[in-house]
Amino acid sequence: MYYVIQVKTGKENETIQDILKNKPDDPSFDVFSPYRKVLKKFKGIEKEVIERCFPGYVFVETNDVKELFRQLYFTPGFQKLLGREEGTENFLPLDKDESRMVDILYSKNNNRITEISNIQVREGEMIRVLDGPLMGLETKIKKVNLHKRTVTIEYTMCNRLVTSNIGINIVTNIINK
């Protein structure tokens, strides 16, 4: 189960290291701050750059939220654990659909870095995803920025609508005449 922690922006890596110092005996335990690869131009040269997806947030995968919360209480940089059940002291993990999005976009297999998706663009039509993490998520795409080579996808996380910019590589740009 995934939980989301709010931390001081810019202190994500330090907070992760502090959490890992007292890592619980939970075999499912993982702590990370997701990143994405995007293409950017520097002085006319296109380069692949890695950026943080959610500044100020850290994700934890664990089955023991009570131990996690106890540990976080003594962690510098920790601000709050998101997803408190109203009127109780219980914390709720991301639901099944939210966890699925985390697994698709920020896979352990890719070191929690979202890869660039290859797409095909036709004027006046929807884009077609050829490969990458956006495969099958076309309905979640809300905006395409061909200049910056990103798409904005929209999904829920912690009962809030969030957006993520995912890097794209335009394989074919076909203009209908």
pLDDT tens digit string along 138-151?
888 888 888 888 99
The domain that holds 34 is classified in CATH as 3.30.70.940
Q: Which domain holds residue 169?
A: 2-174
Q: What is the pLDDT of residues 103-141, one digit of tens each?
A: 989 988 889 999 999 988 876 667 788 898 888 888 888
The percentage of the chain sitting over the pLDDT mark of 90, rounded to a whole number, equals 29
Quick check: 26 pLDDT over 80? Answer: no
Q: How far is CA 86 from CA 92, 102, 138, in A?
A: 10, 24, 34
- Residue 63's pLDDT band, with cuts at 50, 70 and 90, is confident
**Residue 50: what pLDDT?**
94
CB 37 within 8 A of CB 114: yes
Can you read off the two tokens belonging to residue 135?
Answer: 């495969």
Total of domains in the chain: 1
Question: For residue range 65-100, what is the model confidence (pLDDT) as tens digits?
Answer: 888 888 888 888 888 888 776 666 678 889 899 999
Q: Given a cut of 60, is residue 52 above it in pLDDT?
A: yes
Tell me the residue type at 17.
Q
Where are the strands (E) in the chain, listed by range?
Answer: 2-7, 30-32, 35-42, 45-52, 57-61, 78-81, 113-114, 117-122, 128-131, 141-145, 150-157, 160-174
Instruction: Please provide the distance, in angstroms rounded to a whole number, between the alpha carbons at the two ends of the chain.
Output: 50
pLDDT top residue among 101 and 159: 101
State both tokens at 113: 């870095």
Give the Cα separation of 16 and 30 in Å (integer): 10
- pLDDT at 176 (0 to 100): 53
Least confident of 33-37, 43-47, 68-72, 93-97: 68-72
